Chains A and B, each alone.
Chain A
Amino acid sequence: MATILEESGFDPNAELKVVGTNPVKHDGLDKVTGRAKFGADAFLPGMLVGKILRSPHAHAVIKSIDTSKAEALPGVKAVVTRDDFPEKKEGTGAGDMTRNMMAREKALYDGHPVAAVAATSERVAKKALKLIEVNYEVLPHVIDPVEAMNADAPILHDYLRTKGAEKDEDKPTNVTERMVTQLGDIDAGFEDADIIVERSYDSKPMHQGYIEPQACIADYSEDGQVELWCCTQAPFVYRDRLSAILDIDCNKINVQQSELGGGFGGKTGFYGEPIAILLSKKASRAVKIVLSRIEVFRGTGPVAGTSYTIKMGCKKDGTITAAHAEMIFQAGPFAGSMYFNAPNAMFTRYDIKNVDVIAYEVLSNRQKVASFRAPCVPQIVFGVEGVIDEMSRKIEMDPIDFRLKNAAEDGHTTIYGDTWGPIGFIETLKQAKECDHYKTPVKEGEGRGISTGFWFNRGGETAASLNLAPDGTVTIAVGTSDVAGSRISISMMAAEELGIPVDQVRVKMADTNSLGFNRVTAGSRTTFSVGMVIVDSARKCIAELRRRASEIWDVPEDGIVFEEGMCRPASANVGDFEPLSIADICKQTTMSHGAICGHTEMNVTGAGPGFAVNIVDVKVDETTGRTDVTRYTVVQDVGKAIHPQQVEGQVQGGAIQGVGWALNEEYIYGDDGRLQNAGFLDYRMPVASDVPMVETIMVEVPNPAHPFGLRGVGEVPVVPTMAAVGNAIGDAVGIRPTSLPMSPPKVLEVIEQAKSEGVCKL
């Protein structure tokens, strides 16, 4: 359908009444009273409990599965295994997905589902799992991505060949792809350099860490209709992918999202949902599956671990002349780590003429990677900004000045081909340099780190409806998810466009039967994209309001203006009419003409890139190697903060997630390939007493493609974080760590090294 949002109508001088204020979010009340319904908070009559049996082996052939004893247990209503999933060809999208949901030929990681039961109670379901006999032939496994590339490494899939391989060898491998990204002349770039720094880095998988475990209820009726309730960032993507792996038409799967108890990318793909659907089909009853925390760690996606080398050169005046990287990304048992983001984002924000990046995605016997804020970028920026820090120290240049010297400007053409409009990177750097934190001297015994980050920000397929009720109030149906407050931001943009108070607008997350396809809520796209679609829908309503006012007054349409929620005569020549409010027109015309509604379906483009600068102070304990973050400031270009409090919250939350990744969080595997820290006690996320307040400076360089100038804000905050903490530890200790997380034992090693080299500052 055609849209009328050909011009965003962005006006830098517009007097905004709603956008930029901080109303209480409409979903907030239910969340402080306990009324809000998250994934696990719903019940259906006759509902069964579903439980999943998981492989205890990192790599094993499944020779047979005997479910007969479980099926015979009173109270067990259904058992499913690989045999219940439609066959999908190995190495295809659907083939990989179905095999990750339920192990088929082999179990490929500790925690890989091998069977599931539905029973009348949790107790019976757990007992039934113990009665399922799986005959495994345990195989050698590989988890480390560097080892997985070795010629003698255990092979996960015999069919796999490397896409883009240097040598065309018809031999099984664990490397899915070799990707080369180049710009300019890398050799000439290094020849021009006065100083060259080269360092190797690595990082471990970390988990998204949402507090709400995945939960769903599937109800498969006898006529083949599936009703699915679940916590998800991607109801439409769930529907389409479930359709693809279960051979059910899309229109027979209706996904209703619950409130979402955190996702951060981790709920863009499903886990228990297809299993619950198959169990429900077999049992002819609704089935609820709620993952335990152990299952969340063992069975859902952490991020990619990495191993990589960064080499950069600069002139004595600070100009970066060349940037080279060779990187390995650990994907888990199937491709799909989104590692391609790294070559495109790692150096982007600096204007570097000569770039050469080689990236490998490598399979290994660990959980499949799931998306996490700015997928695959922060763990690489950890190294990039480490090298930049070292270069700026070598030429004795202020770290912010060094970055300013190389900062991309408006109109910059990126390595991935986009040419940017107005961007705020230079402004964020300038404000960072002027802020109180940077101007305050580092405390005795502490260290300070600077780093920067970039994220593309996304648009994508978005469909929404805006309906004017007969009383003039507004309801909006969206098909995106609300990961942290987008409903209020969407309400505010609609209210601004319609000239009404935000309390007259309510946003509902619709089910998938009610709207056209919406892409995942991820990549910092939702408030931007839905904002575009909703403003367009509101403008359609305004056009209709003017048409109807022209009928009521019997004057030409162009004699009517819409201002502050009212249709008014454009001038005295049109006539002397009392302005008509939205409510007036709706009341007078809904019965005769039908309701006034706007709906828009767009593949939204024009997302403006986002940038952030971090300033971090740390104190490192010489005896234990423990690092405490003592002060944290984020300066971020947000385009225009629709709801500044919410934007600050995104920034603060992202920064503290990064602190966890920087200092503690990692998946630890035993020699047997089993995950050893599948719980919050041993997988240590930051708690309130670990961290300081996060000072937030919002820079607003508007994105003119959006009616209110906004840029996505959710991904950028985590991008520079680990690098900034690392640079601060380096400043405190004398040598900059190169391995994530920078946990106490690793920092102790760095302290020892600094002492032995005579550079320790502690």
Chain B
Amino acid sequence: MAKRSHVTTTINGDEYEFLCEPDQSLVDVLRNELELTGTKEGCSTGDCGACSISLEGELVCSCLVLGVEADGKEIETIEGMAPSADELHPLQRHFLEINGLQCGICTPGILVAAKALLEKNPDPTETEIRFWLAGNLCRCTGYDKIIRSVQSAAAEMRGG
């Protein structure tokens, strides 16, 4: 058996250490080694976006990143999105209020991706939101209320 690598990383502000196989994906590590199951795995090929996380501030599909690549890096996942135990991120709140989720399996990835969009572009057009989220599949909603939730959260975050 191949030797497992020792990896030290920061996830949602906390230091984590883990051992992983050289070919083990980061989403596999997050979910099955660290039991951070908020990040979902829908395809393992970077097509569905359910495993979206932030790695060193960049939006990535964690199924396309190796666990060993996380060494010394900063990761943010859905579990770290709410600022505190009794306060949600505006995106989380607006998704709840506008019903931007149905089954909820794509929701963590979409929230992480939407957060990354609003950090780059606080006032995106509908088209910009649609193209930014084109890497995040949702089969339940038809995207309508997802787009509206992002628009509404963005407006609040701009102070609108």
> Footprint of B on A, CB under 8 Å?
22, 24-25, 27-29, 31-38, 40-41, 43, 122-123, 208-213, 259-264, 292-293, 483-485, 645-646, 648-649, 652-657, 679-681, 685-691, 693-694
Contacts and interface: CB of A to CB of B under 8 A. Distances in A.
B143 A691 contact: yes
Contact of B44 (A211, A292, A693): A292
Interface string B94-114: 011111011111111001000
A481 to B, nearest CB: 10
A646 B40 contact: no
A406 to B, nearest CB: 29
A317 to B, nearest CB: 38
A680 B44 contact: no
Contacts of A31: 101, 104, 107
Given A38-B40, A43-B35, A293-B42, A212 B88 contact: no
Contact of A685 (B38, B129, B137): B137
Given A653-B140, A680-B48, A261 B37 contact: no
Contact of B45 (A36, A652, A681): A681
A262 B108 contact: no
B99 A34 contact: no
A649 B137 CA distance: 16
Contacts of A36: 104
B140 A484 contact: yes
Nearest to B28: A122
Contacts of A655: 142
A38 B39 CA distance: 11
A693 B37 contact: no
Nearest to A682: B47
Most buried by A among B21, B43, B99, B135: B99
B145 A649 contact: yes
A40 B42 CA distance: 10
B140 A38 contact: no
A32 B137 contact: no
6 contacts: A33-B79, A34-B38, A122-B28, A211-B40, A213-B41, A687-B133
Contact of A262 (B35, B44, B140, B143): B140
Given A211-B137, A689-B127, A689-B133, 15 more contacts: A36-B104, A211-B103, A211-B138, A213-B42, A262-B140, A264-B139, A293-B42, A483-B103, A652-B145, A655-B142, A656-B143, A687-B137, A688-B129, A688-B147, A691-B142
B19 interface: no
Interface size on B, as a range, is 35 or more
A122 B108 CA distance: 25
Q: Report, nearest first, the 10 A-B pairs whose CB atoms are least far apart.
A: A34-B38, A261-B105, A31-B104, A656-B142, A680-B47, A34-B78, A652-B142, A484-B102, A41-B37, A293-B43
B105 A688 contact: no
Contacts of B41: 40, 213
Interface string B19-53: 00100000010010001111111111101101000
A116 to B, nearest CB: 19
A652 B144 contact: yes
B92 A261 contact: no
Contacts of B148: 693
Given A28-B96, A681-B47, A693-B144, A261 B40 contact: yes
A484 B141 CA distance: 9
A31 B79 CA distance: 11
Nearest to B93: A32
A46 B79 CA distance: 26
B43 A40 contact: no
A24 B97 contact: yes
Contacts of A24: 96-97
Nearest to A42: B37
A262 B103 contact: yes
Contact of A32 (B39, B77, B96, B130): B96
Give the interface centre of A293, A646, A649 by most chain B CB atoms within 10 Å.
Answer: A649
